[in-house]
Amino acid sequence: MRRALTDAGLVAGPFTGPGPRGINRRGDLTIGRLPLTTSLYMGFARKPRRPEC
């Protein structure tokens, strides 16, 4: 993914993996960021600034 973003001219930011974090008081499963990116991952990219003339 990082390579595809770079090939598209974007600067990749950090990647993280969402996953189960626990159960809240209502008994609902909570989802949060994990340091793993083995099966699911999310991240962002930005278009680099153009040099000013």
SS3 6: helix
Q: How confident is the model at residue 6 (pLDDT cuts 50, 70, 90)?
A: confident
pLDDT digits 0-9 by tens, 8-44:
888 888 777 777 777 888 888 887 776 666 666 667 7
pTM: 0.45
Q: What is the three-state SS of 24-40?
A: CCCCCEEEEEECCCCCC
Q: Smallest Cα–Cα separation from 43: which of 22, 19, 18?
A: 18
Cα 40 to chain centroid, rounded: 9
Q: What is the dihedral of CA 11, 12, 13, 16, to 10 degrees?
A: 180
